[in-house]
A and B are shown apart, each in its own frame.
Chain A
Amino acid sequence: MVNRRKALITGLLLLIGYAVVQLMLSMGLIDPFYENMLMNIGINIMLAVSLHLIIGVTGQFSIGHAGFLAVGAYVSAVLTTKLDQPFLPAILAAGVAAALFGILVGVPTLRLRGDYLAIATLGFGEIVRITLYNIDYVGGAAGMQVRHLTNWTYLYIAVIVMIIVIANLTNSAHGRALLAIREDEVAAEAMGVNTTYYKVLAFAVGAFFAGIAGAMYAHQFYVIQPVAFGFLKSFEILVIVVLGGIGSLSGAILAATLLSLVNIYLQAFPETRMILYSLVLILVMLYRPQGLMGNREITDLLKRRLGKEA
């Protein structure tokens, strides 16, 4: 059972990775600056990989991902801060609420393709932001104070669970149905793929994890404001997915890590960030339209190397 052994080794490595960082954190070896950076990377990985499922795997060009992030952030924040609920159920509620919005967006946009779908999802993101802006209960433009509850353990588990779910989903008959939709919707239907169901599924699962990312985000940075969930945030997530290579999960993780690192050092100059993103996007389009990883995975590259040595 090669597979079982591989799973065991991977599991062990993941556990060690977790334990080492946790130990360093509790011994105070990682200062708050780097801890923050770590959290940022984790949240961006969640956003990028969940959008990767919608764009990279299913081929639905959605640019309203920050909307799902916002739903998750606000739902969880209201639960913990206003209603004094514990964090864990708030995280799950954030995911479920965002997934419901995913279905809500998924259903009417089923008939839309390409540019039209992009515009509709963009509209969704803006509606969420503007609605939050106008609800006094959650502080309107000033936003909400949120307790700091996110920690390394929660985020690590969330990221790993998400990667396992999305990778396992992709590498199954259901994932191939999603890929078929990306490749040719008419042919997919003709092969018996219920494209309606699968598109909504992709939106729901993608939104679910973006919502969980929202819960992590809200309880990491003390305050949430509608302005943080605008188009620019959606654009940022899109840039990560494109940079990683549309269709590559490991590419999304790699690019999320890279851009988060760059971001930290540019935090003081928000305008420069947007210029940088635009530049990255243009350069990728010009010189490497397939992104860093193309549609391959890191595991493919490892396999190739091992294959050569064998």
Chain B
Amino acid sequence: MRVLETRGLGIRFGGLRAVQELDLFLDQGELVALIGPNGAGKTTVFNMLTGVYKPTEGEIRFFGERIDGMSPYALTRKGIARTFQNIRLFQQLSVLDNVRIAHQVNTHHTFIDSILRLPRFGREERRMLEESRALLETMGLLAVADEAARNLSYGQQRRLEIARALATHPKLLLLDEPAAGMNPRETHELMEMIERVRKTFGMTILLIEHDMSLVMNISERIYVLDHGVLIAHGGPEDVRKNPRVIEAYLGEAAEDALA
């Protein structure tokens, strides 16, 4: 089943065409990577898919339904969850509360129930608490459940970002450079965990990664973006050999060397 599909998707920031003419799709249960050099437009694609930016061209369909132009919270409720490249946790709140906030997407008690502490309030809060703890357990964060999020190590914060996204019960999970800043061991563990999440929850995942080699093993298909343009799409082997991809990454290496 087609989970996500974009046609001719694009956005302009003044004169800059940050993304243009992007056709992209994901089928149920797939793990697909979106890669590209710095400033290619990867995060911008996520921001359009999650309603943070309104596309100026093209359309986005989620299970066949047009979703472009919808607000972020509504899209989360529809089943699209994301993590942020530049970690955006609720820093002063506890790890548990970070996850519980995401769980509240699925609560049904009104604020009147909360104020009067009606039975429904107790039931729902207990359910949220149990689900949140179970999720923290899966992500290896239960031991730090009562810590403030800002006190976590960098790797733990990245995992909490994923836990929080999962707590919204997504059908599609968007991960923006989840391994950024991690050491090789942490990265390896993370990739294993992503595989596990995908299997346990039967999740469809779109993964942004800067480093091409990282995603070669775990993704079924890869989209390569450069300067907002899709320059390659296919299985890992095809993409690796694609001359335009090599050129884009070589260009970047050259820029890095010059800098």
Q: Do A and B come from one complex?
A: yes
Q: Number of A residues contacting the other chain (C-beta, 8 Å)?
A: 28
Of listed A177, A191, A295, residue having the most chain B CB within 10 A: A191
User: Would you give the shortest CB distance from A229 to chain B, in whole angstroms?
Assistant: 28
For B97, the closest partner residue in chain A by CB is A176
Q: Is B12 an interface residue (CB 8 A)?
A: no
Taking CB atoms and an 8 Å cut-off, the chain A residues in 208-251 that contact chain B are 247
Taking CB atoms and an 8 Å cut-off, the chain A residues in 286-310 that contact chain B are 295
Taking CB atoms and an 8 Å cut-off, the chain B residues in 185-204 that contact chain A are none
B88 with A192: CB separation less than 8 A: no
Chain B: interface secondary structure? Answer: helix
B101 with A176: CB separation less than 8 A: yes
Taking CB atoms and an 8 Å cut-off, the chain A residues in 68-92 that contact chain B are none
Q: Which residue from B77, B115, B125 sits with its C-beta under 8 Å from A192?
A: B77
User: Would you give the shortest CB distance from A194 to chain B, in whole angstroms?
Assistant: 5
A109 CA / B100 CA spacing, docked (Å): 28
A189 CA / B89 CA spacing, docked (Å): 12
Interface 1/0 per residue, A130-154 and B, CB below 8 Å = 0000000000000000000000000
B76 with A173: CB separation less than 8 A: no
User: Would you give the shortest CB distance from A296 to chain B, in whole angstroms?
Assistant: 11
Taking CB atoms and an 8 Å cut-off, the chain B residues in 81-138 that contact chain A are 81-82, 84, 88-93, 97, 100-105, 107, 109, 111, 114-117, 121, 124-125, 128
Q: Is A113 an interface residue (CB 8 A)?
A: no
A176 CA / B103 CA spacing, docked (Å): 11
A192 with B92: CB separation less than 8 A: no
A179 with B93: CB separation less than 8 A: yes
A252 CA / B134 CA spacing, docked (Å): 35
B90 with A184: CB separation less than 8 A: yes
Interface 1/0 per residue, A146-183 and B, CB below 8 Å = 00000000000000000011001101111111011001
Chain A: interface secondary structure? Answer: helix
A192 with B124: CB separation less than 8 A: no
Interchain residue pairs with CB less than 8 A apart (14):
A164-B115, A165-B115, A168-B116, A169-B115, A172-B109, A174-B104, A176-B104, A183-B91, A184-B89, A186-B88, A187-B89, A192-B102, A192-B104, A194-B73
- Partner-A contacts on B (CB < 8 A): 50, 52, 71-73, 76-77, 81-82, 84, 88-93, 97, 100-105, 107, 109, 111, 114-117, 121, 124-125, 128, 164, 167-168
Given contacts A169-B115, A184-B89, 18 further A-B contacts (CB under 8 A): A164-B115, A172-B121, A173-B100, A173-B103, A173-B107, A173-B124, A179-B90, A180-B93, A183-B93, A186-B52, A189-B72, A189-B76, A191-B164, A192-B102, A193-B73, A193-B104, A194-B73, A247-B92
